[in-house]
Structure 1
Amino acid sequence: MTPVLPEFDPPTRVLKRAQYEAFAFELLDGDVRVRNESYTDPDVHEYRVRIQDGVPESCSCPADASGDDPCKHRVAVAIRPRILELAVQMRVVTDGGSSLSGDDGTTDLPCECEPLSEDLPCWNCVDAGRRDLSE
């Protein structure tokens, strides 16, 4: 995945805060919930970052709505490519597609068993270990 930070061009103070604050991330149907654990009351510092076309497009925080620059929550997601990649994959699955990437980072080919008889799995499933020829 191509890093999105250059197109953001965040101010230095926002970039630094996105790097050092204690953010916790949770995937939500292709978006990311960003919770700032740096505060004593992190529940009120929890925002949803909307991912669109692989880019943290908007955030529900007041700072994102009030300025032209991206907020620290959007930048925090943008500088963590694995979080962004997982959100994009989740969006594909949520929208009815299927993820081609396994937990170990390998790429599995999609299942083609449906048009075959129930007794014979497709090669993609056998090769990926999802089905056995003896089933």
Structure 2
Amino acid sequence: MSESLLARLDPTKRVLKRAQYEAFEFSLFDGDVLVRNASYADPENHEYNVRMVDGVPTACECPADERYTGPCKHRVAVAIRRPIVDAVERIQMVADGGVVSNEQPEPEVDDDSKPEDCDCDVLDDYFPCWACVDSGRRELPE
């Protein structure tokens, strides 16, 4: 993919921040991702299926994804967690009769300098901002 997944989705800053800090739980389900928001007292009432097409979270069952322009926080939460996107792609490939390779691509890092839109200062030291993840400067924790 030539452009980053996040650039393709183009979320608002508010949606991106919520996708980073809310307590999402993910389950793979029929080639898609079931996203549960455990930030709520009743997380079972805040779970939605995110539809994946060719490694891109294209739709979500939540009211916000239907009501507003741009992706919802559930779609962005999936997109910024590359291991989840990779796992869905593997499941879909196997379901389609493809072969799974265990090789991991090397991250493309052109520059180790801090991105201009870095927000790591306002986040926990353990969790990087998306600008640093997207640039390859830092990786998301497992």
- The verdict on a shared fold, with TM-score over 0.5 as the criterion, is yes
Contact kept? 1:29, 1:94, Cα under 8 Å:
no
Partner of 1:128: none
Contact kept? 1:26, 1:32, Cα under 8 Å:
yes
Aligned AA (2:41):
T
Q: How many percent of aligned residue pairs carry the same amino acid? A: 56
Partner of 1:130: none
The answer as to 2:14 corresponding to 1:13 is: yes
Partner of 2:102: 101
Partner of 2:79: 78
**2: distance between equivalents of 1:92 and 1:22?**
29
Partner of 2:138: none
Query: Where do residues 1-135 of structure 1 align in structure 2 (5 Å cutoff)?
Result: 3-101=4-102
- TM-score normalized by structure 1? 0.71
Cα distance per residue 1:79-125 (max 9 Å; x no partner) = 111111111111111223332227xx59xxxxxxxxxxxxxxxxxxx
Matched residue of 2:57: which SS?
Answer: strand
Cα distance per residue 1:7-33 (max 9 Å; x no partner) = 111111100000000000011122111
Taking only aligned residues, the RMSD between alpha carbons, in angstroms, comes to: 1.7
**2: distance between equivalents of 1:90 and 1:29?**
9
**1: distance between equivalents of 2:99 and 2:41?**
39
Gaps of 5+ in 1: 107-135
Partner of 1:118: none
- Equivalent residue pairs, number: 104
**2: distance between equivalents of 1:27 and 1:101?**
19
Q: What is the CA-CA distance between 1:71 and the residue it aligns to?
A: 0.2
Aligned AA (2:15):
V
Aligned AA (1:49):
V
Q: What is the CA-CA distance between 1:67 and the residue it aligns to?
A: 1.6
Aligned AA (2:89):
V
